[in-house]
Structure 1
C-alpha cells in the first residue's frame, strides 16, 4: 500500500472514531430521548389503533418510528459498524482508543498513563486508525 493511501485510510479511521464518539453517539442519544419523550407521553399516540381495533402500545409505535426512519437507521448502522470494529480490538487497543478519543488525552499523556514509549503509542494509534479505514472501505489491510 502506498504512503498516500495509508495516510488517507488513517485519516478516515481517525475521523470515524472522532465522529462515533463526539457526533453519532450523542446524536443517537438525543434522538432516542426526544422520541421516547414525544411518543411515550403523547395522548394522541396512545390512541393509535391497528386493524381489528387493538391499540398499538407506545413502545411498539416508538419501535416502528425508529425502524421506518431512514436517517435514524443509517445512524444506527454507522454506529454498529464502528462498534463491530472496536469490539475486535484487544484490551490495550481499546484502552488507547478510550484515552485518546473519549478522554481526549494526547500521546504524551497516554504514554505516561500506559507506561509505554510515545513512539509505540503513536504506532498503535496509527495502526488502529488505518485498520478502521480499511475495514470501513472494505479493503484488506496490506502493509
Structure 2
C-alpha cells in the first residue's frame, strides 16, 4: 500500500509540474488582436486628449494608423511583438507620454525605444567637484549651519 501511495504521489507531483511549466511557456503567447482591440476601445472612451488629437491630426489619419496596427496585430503571436505594436499605436497620440508594461514579465528583455545618441551628446553638461558638491548638499540638508 505504501508503494502505491508513493507512486501516486510522484505521479501527481510530476504532472502538476508539467502543467505549470506548459502554462509558463504558453504565457509568452498572446492574442494580440484581442489585446489591441481592448486597449483601443478603452483608450478611445477614457483618454482626455483623444478628441483633441483627432481634431489636430484628423479622423482619416487616425483610421489609417489604427487599421495598420490592427492588421499587424492579427499576425503577432508573442507578447514582445504585441507590446511593440501597442506602443507604436500610442505614439500617434503623445510621444513619450504613454507606455505599456507587461505585468507578467517573460525572461526576454524588450526595448521599446532606441536611445537618441544626439540628444545625449548635445545635452547640457555640468562638471561637479566632490568637495563643493558635499558642501552644497550639506548646506541644503541643514540650512541653519
TM-score by length of 2: 0.27
Which one has the bigger helix percentage?
A: 1
TM-score by length of 1: 0.27
> Highest CA radius of gyration, 1 or 2?
2
More relative contact order, 1 or 2 (CA 8 Å, 6+ apart)? 1
